[in-house]
Amino acid sequence: MAEPASALFNTYARFPITLVKGDGTRLYDDTGKEYLDFMSGLAVTSLGHAPQVVKERLVAQLDELWHCSNLFHNPNQEKLAKLLTENSGADAVFFCNSGAEANEAAIKLARRYHSKVLESGRYEIITFHQSFHGRTLATLTATGQDKVKDGYDPLPTGFVHAPFNDSKALEGYINDKTCAIMLEMVQAEGGVIEADPAFVQEIARLCEKHSLLLIVDEVQTGMGRTGKLFAHQHYGIEPDIFTLAKALASGFPMGAMLGKEKLKAAFQPGTHASTFGGTPIASAAAVATVETMLEQDIPARAAELGDYLIAELTAKLAGNPYVKAIRGKGLILGIECTGPVSADVTAIHQKGLLVVSAGPNVIRLLPSLVITKEDIDQAITIIAGVLAEHKAVVSRG
């Protein structure tokens, strides 16, 4: 008998796996099969699945208050905002539900600051080829990949795309309409490409020279993923605006836009809002997540285990002509191959390890930040075994 048709829009190319339970670094499907999780829900469950400290905070909050309008004060929100600003160079926070919403807020804030505070009339934002900033009309227009824009014309104006890591070319994209430069410190969806330190410093210099706002999209790289609480902290810069989501609340929908003191004047009551932004429940989960990351120094753990993972991968995959490069920072890594990796990803899943691609030729690894070296060794054995089949084919050829 044929399976009944799904009532869902077909917006995802879903893997043929139905996940029903998660515990720490493991996931289980509806047949009881166990998987080692090196996706983390796309960099979301950074403390593992159902972390006890977050669960306890959520259970307590469920007995108190689930939702209240942002027209009232929310103690959890205030506590979370203080935690984030005290551990970054930001001074104010706006809470929302997702990374796309956080980036949308950043775009709106940059434009409104130039319009209402500086009265400059500038509105264009420079982003970069192969970037990814979200799926709203503004954030997909900001994204430097044509594939996400197909069929959505006419797109909003006000975005210019420049080559990534090209310091010499960058200033040529700045004009009298430019208000900000927006970048990712690691282009995760674009193939796990790190920003070159000299390129980042040039961006900071040009923002200072031309009175531009510097916006950093930390939706996937924030919250300890790269070995610092925020990836921009590797580069010795303080952005005017940066955005968070994914790992902020251990799986509860939560996004945040953080900004400098000077930007507060641009957002006044009625200029921006989010009904479900920073609910008591989501904020409770996020407070527990951030406190745990700080108390246990989870970013340092990510840095140490990331070094171990990349060293072991390099050793185990050495000599395989199918493997072109291994790159990344902390626990966001990419294995670039000489051909499409979709079949490899499927084969890896079948052996009990969940990974995902980053473009057609890159296998992306996003394990939780609480994995062990034993977890890493198990994952590498599976990956090396699958990719060794390509080596054998190349050798016979």
Q: What is the DSSP string of 155-190?
A: PPS-EEEE-TT-HHHHGGG--TTEEEEEE-SEETTT
Mean pLDDT computed over 155-168 = 97
For 340, other C-beta atoms within 10 Å of its C-beta total: 12
Percentage of the residues of the chain whose pLDDT score is greater than 70: 97
Every domain of the chain and the residues it spans: 19-50+297-396, 52-295
Mean pLDDT computed over 179-190 = 97
Instruction: Note the pLDDT tens digit of each residue in 84-128.
Output: 999 999 999 999 999 999 999 999 999 999 999 999 999 999 999
Mean pLDDT computed over 29-56 = 97
Mean pLDDT computed over 212-219 = 98
pLDDT of residue 45: 98
Residue 2 DSSP label: P
Going from the C-alpha of 244 to that of each of 43, 95, 188, 220, the distances in angstroms are 12, 9, 14, 8
Q: Are 41 and 19 in contact (CB under 8 A)?
A: no
Exposure class string for 104-135: b at 16+ Cβ within 10 A, else e: bbbbbbbbbbbeeeeeeebbbbbbbbbbbbbe
Res. 1 pLDDT band, cuts 50 70 90? very low
> Please, what CATH class does the domain formed by 52-295 belong to?
alpha beta
Q: Are 55 and 47 in contact (CB under 8 A)?
A: no
Tokens of 397: 């050829």
Res. 390 pLDDT band, cuts 50 70 90? confident
pTM of the model: 0.96
pLDDT at 4 over 80: no
Mean pLDDT computed over 43-61 = 97
Please give the order of strands across the beta sheet that includes 353-354: 19-23, 26-29, 34-37, 353-354
pLDDT of residue 393: 55
The number of residues making up the chain comes to 397
Percentage of the residues of the chain whose pLDDT score is greater than 90: 96
Amino acid, single-letter form, for residue 144: G
Cis-peptide into 163, omega within 30 deg = no
Distance, C-alpha 183 to centroid of its chain: 12
pLDDT of residue 168: 96
Q: Are 142 and 107 in contact (CB under 8 A)?
A: yes
148 Rama sector, left if φ>0, alpha if ψ -120 to 50, beta otherwise: alpha
> Please, what CATH class does the domain formed by 19-50+297-396 belong to?
alpha beta
pLDDT of residue 392: 58
